[in-house]
Structure 1
Amino acid sequence: MDYDPIKDRMGRFVARHPLLQRLFYGVLNMLFLRAWYVRRDVRRLLQRYPVTEPVRVLDAGTGFGQYAYFVAKNFPNAHVDAVDVKDIYLQRARAFVEKTPVGPQIDFRHDDLTDLQAEGPYDLIMSVDVMEHIADDRAVFGHFARVLRPGGHVIINTPSDQGGSDVQSENDESFIGEHVRDGYNLEALEDKLRAAGLAPVVSRYTYGPYGATAWRWLIKRPMQWLGATWASLVVLPLYYIVALPIGLWLNARDVAHENETGTGVIVIAQKPKN
Protein backbone atom coordinates (compact mmCIF):
# COMPACT_ATOMS: atom_id res chain seq x y z
CA MET A 1 0.00 0.00 0.00
CA ASP A 2 1.41 3.39 -1.05
CA TYR A 3 1.09 6.45 1.14
CA ASP A 4 1.38 9.05 -1.62
CA PRO A 5 -1.90 8.40 -3.53
CA ILE A 6 -3.83 8.71 -0.28
CA LYS A 7 -2.03 11.96 0.52
CA ASP A 8 -2.83 13.33 -2.95
CA ARG A 9 -6.50 12.40 -2.64
CA MET A 10 -6.70 14.23 0.68
CA GLY A 11 -5.12 17.26 -0.97
CA ARG A 12 -7.78 17.29 -3.66
CA PHE A 13 -10.56 17.10 -1.09
CA VAL A 14 -9.39 19.89 1.22
CA ALA A 15 -8.74 22.21 -1.74
CA ARG A 16 -12.51 22.56 -2.10
CA HIS A 17 -12.76 25.24 0.60
CA PRO A 18 -10.27 27.48 2.47
CA LEU A 19 -11.65 26.35 5.82
CA LEU A 20 -10.89 22.72 4.95
CA GLN A 21 -7.39 23.69 3.81
CA ARG A 22 -6.69 25.57 7.04
CA LEU A 23 -8.00 22.64 9.08
CA PHE A 24 -5.84 20.29 7.00
CA TYR A 25 -2.73 22.36 7.74
CA GLY A 26 -3.56 22.22 11.43
CA VAL A 27 -3.93 18.44 11.36
CA LEU A 28 -0.62 18.02 9.50
CA ASN A 29 1.18 20.24 11.99
CA MET A 30 -0.30 18.34 14.91
CA LEU A 31 0.16 14.76 13.75
CA PHE A 32 3.46 14.87 11.88
CA LEU A 33 6.45 15.03 14.20
CA ARG A 34 8.60 16.63 11.49
CA ALA A 35 6.38 19.73 11.71
CA TRP A 36 7.16 20.03 15.43
CA TYR A 37 10.89 20.11 14.73
CA VAL A 38 10.80 22.27 11.61
CA ARG A 39 8.48 24.93 13.00
CA ARG A 40 10.54 25.16 16.19
CA ASP A 41 13.78 25.64 14.25
CA VAL A 42 12.21 28.10 11.80
CA ARG A 43 10.97 30.20 14.71
CA ARG A 44 14.40 30.20 16.33
CA LEU A 45 16.11 31.30 13.12
CA LEU A 46 13.64 33.94 11.96
CA GLN A 47 13.18 35.48 15.42
CA ARG A 48 16.78 36.65 15.16
CA TYR A 49 15.75 39.20 12.55
CA PRO A 50 14.25 42.53 13.65
CA VAL A 51 10.57 42.78 12.75
CA THR A 52 11.38 45.84 10.62
CA GLU A 53 13.95 43.92 8.55
CA PRO A 54 12.64 42.14 5.42
CA VAL A 55 13.42 38.43 5.33
CA ARG A 56 13.42 36.23 2.24
CA VAL A 57 12.60 32.53 2.55
CA LEU A 58 12.71 29.75 -0.04
CA ASP A 59 10.33 26.85 0.58
CA ALA A 60 12.13 24.29 -1.57
CA GLY A 61 9.55 21.65 -2.46
CA THR A 62 6.53 23.31 -0.90
CA GLY A 63 4.06 20.45 -1.46
CA PHE A 64 0.79 21.40 0.20
CA GLY A 65 2.27 24.80 1.15
CA GLN A 66 1.79 24.50 4.91
CA TYR A 67 5.30 25.64 5.82
CA ALA A 68 5.18 28.66 3.51
CA TYR A 69 1.86 29.56 5.12
CA PHE A 70 3.31 29.07 8.60
CA VAL A 71 6.20 31.45 7.89
CA ALA A 72 4.04 34.14 6.30
CA LYS A 73 1.42 33.96 9.05
CA ASN A 74 3.89 34.20 11.93
CA PHE A 75 6.46 36.57 10.41
CA PRO A 76 4.87 39.57 8.66
CA ASN A 77 8.35 40.75 7.59
CA ALA A 78 8.95 37.52 5.63
CA HIS A 79 8.44 36.97 1.93
CA VAL A 80 8.34 33.33 0.79
CA ASP A 81 9.12 31.90 -2.63
CA ALA A 82 7.40 28.50 -2.56
CA VAL A 83 8.57 26.24 -5.39
CA ASP A 84 7.67 22.74 -6.52
CA VAL A 85 7.66 20.61 -9.67
CA LYS A 86 4.04 19.53 -9.17
CA ASP A 87 1.85 22.22 -10.70
CA ILE A 88 -1.34 20.90 -9.16
CA TYR A 89 0.11 21.38 -5.66
CA LEU A 90 1.11 24.93 -6.56
CA GLN A 91 -2.32 25.74 -7.98
CA ARG A 92 -4.15 24.50 -4.89
CA ALA A 93 -1.82 26.25 -2.44
CA ARG A 94 -1.95 29.49 -4.43
CA ALA A 95 -5.74 29.40 -4.57
CA PHE A 96 -5.85 29.00 -0.81
CA VAL A 97 -3.40 31.73 0.23
CA GLU A 98 -4.92 34.25 -2.18
CA LYS A 99 -8.01 34.11 0.03
CA THR A 100 -6.01 34.79 3.21
CA PRO A 101 -4.29 37.94 4.58
CA VAL A 102 -0.84 36.41 3.92
CA GLY A 103 -1.45 36.03 0.19
CA PRO A 104 0.87 38.88 -0.91
CA GLN A 105 3.73 37.41 1.14
CA ILE A 106 3.95 34.15 -0.83
CA ASP A 107 4.83 33.55 -4.47
CA PHE A 108 4.19 30.02 -5.73
CA ARG A 109 6.39 29.06 -8.68
CA HIS A 110 7.18 25.98 -10.72
CA ASP A 111 10.87 25.20 -10.28
CA ASP A 112 13.09 22.13 -10.37
CA LEU A 113 15.52 22.07 -7.45
CA THR A 114 18.15 20.28 -9.56
CA ASP A 115 18.04 23.19 -12.03
CA LEU A 116 16.90 25.93 -9.67
CA GLN A 117 16.01 29.19 -11.40
CA ALA A 118 15.31 31.19 -8.24
CA GLU A 119 17.86 33.94 -7.78
CA GLY A 120 17.84 34.81 -4.09
CA PRO A 121 19.56 35.86 -2.00
CA TYR A 122 17.59 34.08 0.70
CA ASP A 123 17.99 34.31 4.45
CA LEU A 124 16.45 30.87 5.00
CA ILE A 125 15.81 27.81 2.87
CA MET A 126 13.42 25.10 4.07
CA SER A 127 13.63 21.62 2.57
CA VAL A 128 11.14 19.44 4.40
CA ASP A 129 10.90 15.79 3.36
CA VAL A 130 12.04 16.60 -0.17
CA MET A 131 15.60 15.35 -0.63
CA GLU A 132 14.60 11.70 -0.37
CA HIS A 133 12.68 12.26 -3.62
CA ILE A 134 15.67 13.66 -5.57
CA ALA A 135 18.51 11.52 -6.88
CA ASP A 136 20.91 14.36 -7.73
CA ASP A 137 21.06 15.83 -4.24
CA ARG A 138 24.54 17.30 -4.75
CA ALA A 139 23.20 19.56 -7.49
CA VAL A 140 20.40 20.73 -5.19
CA PHE A 141 22.78 21.53 -2.32
CA GLY A 142 24.97 23.45 -4.75
CA HIS A 143 22.00 25.59 -5.77
CA PHE A 144 21.08 26.15 -2.14
CA ALA A 145 24.59 27.45 -1.47
CA ARG A 146 24.37 29.69 -4.53
CA VAL A 147 21.10 31.40 -3.59
CA LEU A 148 21.70 31.68 0.17
CA ARG A 149 22.81 35.01 1.57
CA PRO A 150 26.17 34.82 3.41
CA GLY A 151 25.20 34.00 6.99
CA GLY A 152 21.89 32.51 5.85
CA HIS A 153 20.66 29.06 6.88
CA VAL A 154 19.14 25.98 5.28
CA ILE A 155 17.02 23.43 7.14
CA ILE A 156 17.08 19.91 5.72
CA ASN A 157 14.53 17.50 7.19
CA THR A 158 14.50 14.00 5.72
CA PRO A 159 14.19 10.31 6.63
CA SER A 160 17.35 8.65 7.94
CA ASP A 161 18.94 5.39 6.90
CA GLN A 162 18.01 3.93 10.30
CA GLY A 163 14.59 2.82 9.08
CA GLY A 164 13.45 5.95 7.25
CA SER A 165 10.40 5.67 4.99
CA ASP A 166 9.33 3.03 7.53
CA VAL A 167 11.79 0.51 6.07
CA GLN A 168 12.79 -1.89 8.84
CA SER A 169 15.27 -4.11 6.97
CA GLU A 170 16.91 -4.48 3.57
CA ASN A 171 14.13 -6.78 2.37
CA ASP A 172 11.24 -4.55 3.44
CA GLU A 173 9.41 -2.43 0.89
CA SER A 174 9.16 1.26 1.69
CA PHE A 175 5.82 2.48 3.01
CA ILE A 176 6.42 5.65 0.97
CA GLY A 177 6.38 4.82 -2.71
CA GLU A 178 7.96 7.90 -4.32
CA HIS A 179 11.34 7.91 -2.56
CA VAL A 180 14.55 7.41 -4.54
CA ARG A 181 16.41 6.54 -1.32
CA ASP A 182 15.11 5.13 1.95
CA GLY A 183 16.97 7.72 4.00
CA TYR A 184 20.19 9.56 4.73
CA ASN A 185 23.12 8.69 6.88
CA LEU A 186 23.52 11.74 9.12
CA GLU A 187 27.28 12.04 8.63
CA ALA A 188 26.98 11.55 4.86
CA LEU A 189 24.37 14.30 4.66
CA GLU A 190 26.66 16.64 6.59
CA ASP A 191 29.53 15.81 4.21
CA LYS A 192 27.41 16.59 1.14
CA LEU A 193 26.41 19.94 2.60
CA ARG A 194 30.04 20.78 3.39
CA ALA A 195 31.04 19.84 -0.16
CA ALA A 196 28.49 22.39 -1.39
CA GLY A 197 30.01 25.08 0.82
CA LEU A 198 27.49 24.90 3.66
CA ALA A 199 28.58 24.39 7.26
CA PRO A 200 26.33 22.18 9.45
CA VAL A 201 25.63 23.90 12.76
CA VAL A 202 22.90 21.63 14.17
CA SER A 203 22.45 17.93 13.38
CA ARG A 204 20.10 15.62 15.19
CA TYR A 205 18.16 12.41 14.82
CA THR A 206 14.38 12.65 15.00
CA TYR A 207 11.71 9.95 15.21
CA GLY A 208 13.55 8.09 17.95
CA PRO A 209 11.76 5.40 19.99
CA TYR A 210 9.01 7.80 21.04
CA GLY A 211 8.50 9.44 17.63
CA ALA A 212 8.64 6.18 15.67
CA THR A 213 5.90 4.75 17.87
CA ALA A 214 3.80 7.90 17.40
CA TRP A 215 4.27 7.60 13.62
CA ARG A 216 2.84 4.08 13.65
CA TRP A 217 -0.11 5.09 15.84
CA LEU A 218 -0.97 8.44 14.27
CA ILE A 219 -0.03 8.01 10.61
CA LYS A 220 0.85 4.54 9.37
CA ARG A 221 -2.00 2.53 10.83
CA PRO A 222 -4.75 4.98 9.73
CA MET A 223 -3.17 5.23 6.27
CA GLN A 224 -3.16 1.45 5.95
CA TRP A 225 -6.83 1.37 6.83
CA LEU A 226 -7.61 4.09 4.28
CA GLY A 227 -5.56 2.22 1.70
CA ALA A 228 -7.71 -0.84 2.27
CA THR A 229 -11.04 1.02 2.21
CA TRP A 230 -12.15 4.63 2.53
CA ALA A 231 -15.05 3.33 4.61
CA SER A 232 -12.58 3.32 7.51
CA LEU A 233 -13.19 7.09 7.72
CA VAL A 234 -16.23 6.13 9.77
CA VAL A 235 -14.17 4.53 12.54
CA LEU A 236 -11.11 6.80 12.45
CA PRO A 237 -12.65 9.47 14.73
CA LEU A 238 -13.23 6.83 17.39
CA TYR A 239 -9.70 5.51 16.91
CA TYR A 240 -8.16 8.96 17.33
CA ILE A 241 -10.06 9.56 20.58
CA VAL A 242 -7.75 6.95 22.07
CA ALA A 243 -4.65 7.25 19.86
CA LEU A 244 -4.35 11.05 19.61
CA PRO A 245 -3.50 11.88 23.27
CA ILE A 246 -0.96 9.05 23.40
CA GLY A 247 0.56 9.97 20.05
CA LEU A 248 0.89 13.67 20.91
CA TRP A 249 2.55 12.78 24.22
CA LEU A 250 5.00 10.57 22.33
CA ASN A 251 5.74 13.38 19.85
CA ALA A 252 6.40 15.78 22.71
CA ARG A 253 8.74 13.28 24.35
CA ASP A 254 10.67 12.83 21.10
CA VAL A 255 11.22 16.58 20.71
CA ALA A 256 12.37 16.87 24.33
CA HIS A 257 14.59 13.78 24.11
CA GLU A 258 18.12 13.69 22.64
CA ASN A 259 17.82 10.71 20.30
CA GLU A 260 20.96 8.65 19.80
CA THR A 261 19.41 7.38 16.58
CA GLY A 262 16.10 7.65 14.79
CA THR A 263 14.29 7.19 11.51
CA GLY A 264 14.52 10.90 10.69
CA VAL A 265 17.26 13.52 10.60
CA ILE A 266 17.24 17.30 10.65
CA VAL A 267 20.30 19.35 9.79
CA ILE A 268 20.67 23.13 9.92
CA ALA A 269 23.58 24.41 7.85
CA GLN A 270 24.88 27.95 7.35
CA LYS A 271 26.55 29.66 4.44
CA PRO A 272 29.78 31.21 5.78
CA LYS A 273 29.75 34.99 6.01
CA ASN A 274 33.23 35.29 4.51
Structure 2
Amino acid sequence: MLFGREKRYGETDWKRRLGYTLLGEMHIPGRLRVWHLINALRHLGFWQPRPLTLLDAGGGEGAFAYYCARRFPAWQVVVADDEPETIARGQRMVDGLGLHNIQVQQVDLTALHATACYDIVICSDVLEHIEDDHTVVRHLARALKPGGVLCLTSPSIPQRRHLALVAWREQRIGFHPSQYGHVRDGYSAADMQHFLEANGLTVEVLRWTFGRFGTLMFDIFFVAGDNRPSPLAYAALFPFYMGLSALDVALPNHSGSAIMAVGRKP
Protein backbone atom coordinates (compact mmCIF):
# COMPACT_ATOMS: atom_id res chain seq x y z
CA MET A 1 0.00 0.00 0.00
CA LEU A 2 1.70 3.19 -1.21
CA PHE A 3 1.95 5.85 1.50
CA GLY A 4 0.76 9.31 0.50
CA ARG A 5 -1.42 8.26 -2.42
CA GLU A 6 -4.34 9.37 -0.22
CA LYS A 7 -3.39 13.01 -0.83
CA ARG A 8 -4.48 12.89 -4.47
CA TYR A 9 -8.06 13.36 -3.31
CA GLY A 10 -7.20 16.60 -1.53
CA GLU A 11 -5.68 18.22 -4.62
CA THR A 12 -7.43 20.25 -7.30
CA ASP A 13 -4.40 20.48 -9.63
CA TRP A 14 -4.37 17.49 -11.98
CA LYS A 15 -0.58 17.36 -12.19
CA ARG A 16 -0.21 17.02 -8.43
CA ARG A 17 -3.03 14.48 -8.35
CA LEU A 18 -1.14 12.45 -10.92
CA GLY A 19 2.08 12.77 -8.95
CA TYR A 20 0.48 11.50 -5.74
CA THR A 21 -1.16 8.65 -7.64
CA LEU A 22 2.11 7.49 -9.19
CA LEU A 23 4.61 8.22 -6.41
CA GLY A 24 2.68 8.59 -3.17
CA GLU A 25 3.86 11.30 -0.78
CA MET A 26 5.90 13.72 -2.87
CA HIS A 27 7.21 15.79 0.04
CA ILE A 28 10.11 13.48 0.82
CA PRO A 29 11.03 15.05 4.20
CA GLY A 30 7.44 14.42 5.32
CA ARG A 31 7.67 10.89 4.00
CA LEU A 32 10.87 10.25 5.98
CA ARG A 33 9.32 11.67 9.14
CA VAL A 34 6.45 9.18 8.82
CA TRP A 35 8.85 6.28 8.21
CA HIS A 36 10.48 7.06 11.55
CA LEU A 37 7.08 7.21 13.27
CA ILE A 38 6.01 3.88 11.79
CA ASN A 39 9.29 2.30 12.90
CA ALA A 40 8.71 3.49 16.46
CA LEU A 41 5.09 2.27 16.53
CA ARG A 42 6.15 -1.09 15.11
CA HIS A 43 8.89 -1.41 17.75
CA LEU A 44 6.38 -0.66 20.53
CA GLY A 45 3.81 -3.16 19.21
CA PHE A 46 1.21 -0.68 17.94
CA TRP A 47 1.67 -1.10 14.18
CA GLN A 48 -0.82 -3.94 13.76
CA PRO A 49 -4.44 -4.44 12.68
CA ARG A 50 -6.02 -4.88 16.13
CA PRO A 51 -8.62 -2.23 17.08
CA LEU A 52 -6.89 0.96 18.20
CA THR A 53 -7.75 4.64 18.46
CA LEU A 54 -5.47 7.29 16.95
CA LEU A 55 -5.44 11.08 17.27
CA ASP A 56 -3.30 12.95 14.75
CA ALA A 57 -3.00 16.37 16.38
CA GLY A 58 -2.34 19.07 13.82
CA GLY A 59 -1.91 16.50 11.09
CA GLY A 60 -4.41 17.72 8.53
CA GLU A 61 -1.73 18.63 5.98
CA GLY A 62 -0.12 15.21 5.96
CA ALA A 63 -1.22 11.76 4.89
CA PHE A 64 -0.33 9.75 7.99
CA ALA A 65 -3.77 9.50 9.59
CA TYR A 66 -5.49 8.80 6.26
CA TYR A 67 -2.92 6.10 5.48
CA CYS A 68 -3.49 4.49 8.89
CA ALA A 69 -7.27 4.51 8.41
CA ARG A 70 -6.86 2.88 5.01
CA ARG A 71 -4.28 0.31 6.12
CA PHE A 72 -6.02 -0.67 9.37
CA PRO A 73 -9.83 -0.71 8.98
CA ALA A 74 -10.23 -1.70 12.66
CA TRP A 75 -8.61 1.56 13.81
CA GLN A 76 -10.70 4.60 14.70
CA VAL A 77 -8.83 7.72 13.62
CA VAL A 78 -9.34 11.41 14.37
CA VAL A 79 -7.49 14.24 12.62
CA ALA A 80 -7.56 17.44 14.68
CA ASP A 81 -6.54 20.72 13.03
CA ASP A 82 -7.59 24.35 13.30
CA GLU A 83 -7.07 25.59 9.72
CA PRO A 84 -10.35 25.70 7.74
CA GLU A 85 -8.61 25.08 4.39
CA THR A 86 -6.77 22.11 5.84
CA ILE A 87 -10.00 20.72 7.26
CA ALA A 88 -11.70 21.06 3.88
CA ARG A 89 -8.80 19.32 2.12
CA GLY A 90 -8.85 16.55 4.70
CA GLN A 91 -12.56 16.03 4.25
CA ARG A 92 -12.08 15.73 0.49
CA MET A 93 -9.53 13.01 1.16
CA VAL A 94 -11.90 11.13 3.47
CA ASP A 95 -14.74 11.39 0.95
CA GLY A 96 -12.54 10.35 -1.96
CA LEU A 97 -11.19 7.35 -0.08
CA GLY A 98 -14.66 6.32 1.07
CA LEU A 99 -13.42 5.76 4.62
CA HIS A 100 -15.79 5.38 7.56
CA ASN A 101 -13.22 4.98 10.34
CA ILE A 102 -11.77 8.50 10.27
CA GLN A 103 -13.07 11.93 11.28
CA VAL A 104 -11.59 15.32 10.47
CA GLN A 105 -12.34 17.82 13.22
CA GLN A 106 -11.62 21.52 13.63
CA VAL A 107 -9.92 21.70 17.03
CA ASP A 108 -7.79 24.25 18.86
CA LEU A 109 -5.14 22.04 20.47
CA THR A 110 -4.71 24.50 23.32
CA ALA A 111 -8.35 23.81 24.24
CA LEU A 112 -8.48 20.05 23.61
CA HIS A 113 -10.77 18.42 26.20
CA ALA A 114 -10.37 14.71 25.39
CA THR A 115 -9.59 12.46 28.36
CA ALA A 116 -8.36 8.84 28.16
CA CYS A 117 -9.70 8.44 24.60
CA TYR A 118 -6.75 7.32 22.46
CA ASP A 119 -4.21 4.52 22.26
CA ILE A 120 -1.92 6.59 20.04
CA VAL A 121 -1.52 10.37 19.84
CA ILE A 122 0.71 11.82 17.12
CA CYS A 123 1.91 15.42 17.14
CA SER A 124 4.39 15.62 14.28
CA ASP A 125 6.23 18.88 13.59
CA VAL A 126 3.42 20.92 15.13
CA LEU A 127 4.63 22.15 18.54
CA GLU A 128 7.25 24.48 17.07
CA HIS A 129 4.35 26.42 15.51
CA ILE A 130 2.47 26.93 18.81
CA GLU A 131 3.30 29.52 21.47
CA ASP A 132 1.64 27.63 24.33
CA ASP A 133 3.32 24.33 23.61
CA HIS A 134 3.32 23.10 27.22
CA THR A 135 -0.46 23.36 27.42
CA VAL A 136 -0.84 21.41 24.19
CA VAL A 137 1.40 18.57 25.40
CA ARG A 138 -0.49 18.44 28.70
CA HIS A 139 -3.78 18.07 26.82
CA LEU A 140 -2.37 15.42 24.49
CA ALA A 141 -1.03 13.39 27.41
CA ARG A 142 -4.40 13.60 29.14
CA ALA A 143 -6.08 12.31 25.98
CA LEU A 144 -4.16 9.01 26.20
CA LYS A 145 -5.64 5.83 27.53
CA PRO A 146 -3.52 3.97 30.11
CA GLY A 147 -0.81 2.17 28.17
CA GLY A 148 -1.17 4.55 25.25
CA VAL A 149 1.69 6.43 23.62
CA LEU A 150 2.31 10.05 22.68
CA CYS A 151 4.65 10.51 19.69
CA LEU A 152 6.28 13.92 19.21
CA THR A 153 8.54 15.05 16.38
CA SER A 154 10.18 18.41 15.81
CA PRO A 155 13.18 20.14 14.30
CA SER A 156 16.07 19.72 16.72
CA ILE A 157 18.35 22.20 18.40
CA PRO A 158 21.18 22.32 17.67
CA GLN A 159 20.84 21.48 13.97
CA ARG A 160 23.27 19.44 11.94
CA ARG A 161 25.41 21.47 9.56
CA HIS A 162 23.54 22.12 6.31
CA LEU A 163 24.94 22.43 2.80
CA ALA A 164 26.14 25.91 1.83
CA LEU A 165 23.76 25.63 -1.13
CA VAL A 166 20.83 25.95 1.28
CA ALA A 167 21.85 29.50 2.26
CA TRP A 168 22.44 30.30 -1.42
CA ARG A 169 18.95 29.11 -2.36
CA GLU A 170 17.36 31.01 0.55
CA GLN A 171 19.07 34.22 -0.58
CA ARG A 172 18.22 33.62 -4.24
CA ILE A 173 14.48 33.20 -3.64
CA GLY A 174 14.23 35.62 -0.71
CA PHE A 175 13.31 32.84 1.71
CA HIS A 176 13.65 33.06 5.48
CA PRO A 177 13.04 30.09 7.83
CA SER A 178 10.39 32.17 9.63
CA GLN A 179 8.19 31.55 6.57
CA TYR A 180 7.69 28.01 7.89
CA GLY A 181 5.53 29.62 10.58
CA HIS A 182 7.73 28.51 13.46
CA VAL A 183 7.60 30.42 16.75
CA ARG A 184 10.78 28.63 17.90
CA ASP A 185 13.64 26.84 16.19
CA GLY A 186 12.87 23.44 17.67
CA TYR A 187 13.61 21.34 20.72
CA SER A 188 16.54 19.58 22.33
CA ALA A 189 16.55 16.03 23.67
CA ALA A 190 16.25 17.48 27.18
CA ASP A 191 13.20 19.52 26.12
CA MET A 192 11.47 16.45 24.72
CA GLN A 193 12.26 14.36 27.77
CA HIS A 194 10.85 17.09 30.01
CA PHE A 195 7.65 17.33 27.93
CA LEU A 196 6.97 13.64 28.49
CA GLU A 197 8.09 13.21 32.10
CA ALA A 198 6.41 16.41 33.30
CA ASN A 199 3.10 14.96 32.11
CA GLY A 200 3.51 11.60 33.80
CA LEU A 201 4.70 9.66 30.75
CA THR A 202 7.53 7.14 30.63
CA VAL A 203 10.06 7.83 27.89
CA GLU A 204 10.10 4.87 25.49
CA VAL A 205 11.89 6.43 22.51
CA LEU A 206 14.15 9.48 22.32
CA ARG A 207 16.24 9.64 19.18
CA TRP A 208 17.64 11.91 16.52
CA THR A 209 16.20 11.71 13.04
CA PHE A 210 17.35 13.38 9.82
CA GLY A 211 20.95 12.46 10.53
CA ARG A 212 23.73 12.68 7.97
CA PHE A 213 21.74 11.08 5.16
CA GLY A 214 18.35 12.55 6.05
CA THR A 215 19.75 16.07 6.32
CA LEU A 216 21.52 15.67 2.98
CA MET A 217 18.23 14.57 1.42
CA PHE A 218 16.41 17.53 2.99
CA ASP A 219 19.02 20.01 1.77
CA ILE A 220 19.03 18.74 -1.81
CA PHE A 221 15.21 18.58 -1.82
CA PHE A 222 15.06 22.24 -0.74
CA VAL A 223 17.74 23.44 -3.16
CA ALA A 224 16.08 21.57 -6.05
CA GLY A 225 12.80 23.42 -5.53
CA ASP A 226 11.20 22.12 -2.33
CA ASN A 227 7.43 21.79 -2.91
CA ARG A 228 7.54 23.29 -6.42
CA PRO A 229 10.46 21.66 -8.24
CA SER A 230 10.94 21.15 -11.94
CA PRO A 231 9.14 17.87 -12.73
CA LEU A 232 12.17 16.59 -14.66
CA ALA A 233 14.57 17.44 -11.83
CA TYR A 234 12.24 15.84 -9.30
CA ALA A 235 11.91 12.64 -11.35
CA ALA A 236 15.69 12.41 -11.74
CA LEU A 237 16.35 12.95 -8.04
CA PHE A 238 13.47 10.86 -6.66
CA PRO A 239 15.45 7.57 -6.42
CA PHE A 240 18.31 9.45 -4.74
CA TYR A 241 15.93 11.01 -2.20
CA MET A 242 14.42 7.63 -1.42
CA GLY A 243 17.80 5.97 -1.04
CA LEU A 244 19.07 8.62 1.37
CA SER A 245 15.83 8.37 3.36
CA ALA A 246 16.13 4.59 3.61
CA LEU A 247 19.67 4.97 4.96
CA ASP A 248 18.48 7.51 7.53
CA VAL A 249 15.95 5.01 8.87
CA ALA A 250 18.23 1.97 8.71
CA LEU A 251 21.36 3.45 10.32
CA PRO A 252 21.73 4.91 13.84
CA ASN A 253 21.90 8.70 14.02
CA HIS A 254 24.21 10.18 16.66
CA SER A 255 22.95 13.67 15.85
CA GLY A 256 20.23 15.01 13.62
CA SER A 257 18.31 17.96 12.29
CA ALA A 258 15.12 16.56 13.82
CA ILE A 259 14.16 14.67 16.95
CA MET A 260 11.49 12.14 17.89
CA ALA A 261 10.23 11.27 21.36
CA VAL A 262 7.64 8.72 22.41
CA GLY A 263 6.18 8.50 25.91
CA ARG A 264 3.87 5.86 27.35
CA LYS A 265 1.11 6.54 29.86
CA PRO A 266 1.31 4.14 32.83
TM norm structure 1 = 0.79
Alpha-carbon displacement from aligned partner over 1:193-251 (angstroms, at most 9, x marks no partner): 21111121111101111111100112443138x4xxxxxx5xx2221243222222111
C-alpha separation in 2, matches of 1:115 and 1:57: 18
Contact 1:159–1:265 (8 Å) recurs in 2: yes
Task: Tell me whether 1:269 sits opposite 2:263 in the alignment.
Answer: yes
Match of 2:112 among 112, 116, 124: 116
Mapping for residues 1-274 of structure 1, pairs under 5 Å: 14-15=11-12, 19=17, 22-23=20-21, 26-28=24-26, 30=28, 32=30, 33-45=32-44, 47=46, 51=49, 53-101=50-98, 103-163=99-159, 173-174=176-177, 176-223=179-226, 226=228, 236-272=230-266
Contact 1:11–1:64 (8 Å) recurs in 2: no
- Deviation of 1:59 after TM superposition, in Å, equals 0.6
- Deviation of 1:44 after TM superposition, in Å, equals 4.3
- Deviation of 1:252 after TM superposition, in Å, equals 1.2
Instruction: In structure 2, list runs of 5 or more residues that go unmatched.
Output: 1-6, 168-174
Contact 2:56–2:65 (8 Å) recurs in 1: yes
In structure 2, do the counterparts of structure 1 residues 47 and 118 end up closer, same or farther at CA, with 3 Å as the change threshold? closer
> Counterpart of 1:7?
none
Alpha-carbon displacement from aligned partner over 1:144-198 (angstroms, at most 9, x marks no partner): 121100110011111101228x7999xx952643001111011121112211111
C-alpha separation in 1, matches of 2:126 and 2:8: 17
- Deviation of 1:41 after TM superposition, in Å, equals 2.6
C-alpha separation in 2, matches of 1:267 and 1:256: 18
- Deviation of 1:42 after TM superposition, in Å, equals 3.5
The CA RMSD over aligned residues, in Å, is 3.1
1:111 alignment partner AA: V
C-alpha separation in 2, matches of 1:175 and 1:251: 25
How many residues align? The count is 248
Q: Percent identity?
A: 31
C-alpha separation in 2, matches of 1:263 and 1:76: 34
In structure 2, do the counterparts of structure 1 residues 218 and 48 end up closer, same or farther at CA, with 3 Å as the change threshold? closer
